[in-house]
Amino acid sequence: MGKRLFSDEELETLASAPPDERSEQGAITGYADWIAHTQAWLLESHGLPALSVLNQVTRTFFATVAPMSSEHDTYRDWISVVLAHVYETYGVDDLEAALAHAAERTLLAWMPNDIARPPEKRLMSWVRLLRGHHSELRIEEEDDRFVITQDPCGSCTRQVDDGRYGPPLSLPVVEEWGGPTIYRSHIRVMHQALPRQRIGVPWPVNICPAGLGTGPCTILLYKDPLDPAAADVPTPFWPADAGDPQ
């Protein structure tokens, strides 16, 4: 049996801590960078007229939905509107390309530093990130991993509960990838395909509800971030028969 790094009481305290200003601003900054890099991809790939059309789409969003939202949720929905526009205008291959472009300049730039750190430090960082999204958390420790359960998930699930996949926003699901919401589609690229290409495993394993589901979302944070067992965990974004990314 592996050595426990935290007591149950310590994990409960960590999970129940409220979001602080650092974690909230970290989430908002992350969204702002994601939006900027996706806009840059659109400009580079399709030119200034495409960016002009996107600006009209986001103008409608800011005039209707955004005034009713918190700052966090405005940024969450803003990137979703941008991704939806890419998907619905240019197709799933361009959605994947846009997500990869942003990932390589944001989240994945952090991956080498993250996987080099001790598991207890990694857990603290990932929990801080999730608290920035106002997730309700439960944390369990097993011999080889931490199991972080969000119920509800502060970004994906609340977005569904907030009605963003119906009028007036009517965000899409990505049918070609098994029906994840447009927001959840980033899991397939940023946490599955690109990490699998670079380190052989997901980073980390995200088991979100399928489609428009609003059930618990589970993250498996392996103590050894290169543990090959992580590659064998089926998720709605990477079923058991999906094979290796190309």
pLDDT band at residue 239 under the 50/70/90 scheme: confident
Rounded to 5°, the CA angle 77-183-78 comes to 20
- Give the C-alpha separation, 55 to 156, whole Å: 24
Mean pLDDT (the chain, rounded): 94
Is the Cα dihedral 175, 180, 182, 184 positive or negative? Answer: negative
- Give the C-alpha separation, 189 to 205, whole Å: 12
137-141 and 145-150 as β-strands: parallel, antiparallel, unpaired?
antiparallel
pLDDT band at residue 1 under the 50/70/90 scheme: very low
DSSP string, 46-115: H-HHHHHHHHHHHHHHHHHTGGGS-HHHHHHHHHHHHHHHHHHHH-HHHHHHHHHHHHHHTHHHHHHHHH
| Count of CB atoms situated within 10 Å of the CB of 65 | 19
Query: Two tokens at 32?
Result: 């702002």
Digit-coded pLDDT (tens) for 56-69:
999 999 999 999 99
pTM: 0.94
Digit-coded pLDDT (tens) for 79-126:
999 999 999 999 999 999 999 999 999 999 999 999 999 999 999 999
- Please give the average per-residue pLDDT across 232-237, as a whole number: 90
Q: Which of 20-29, 120-129, 130-139, 231-240 has the lowest mean pLDDT?
A: 231-240
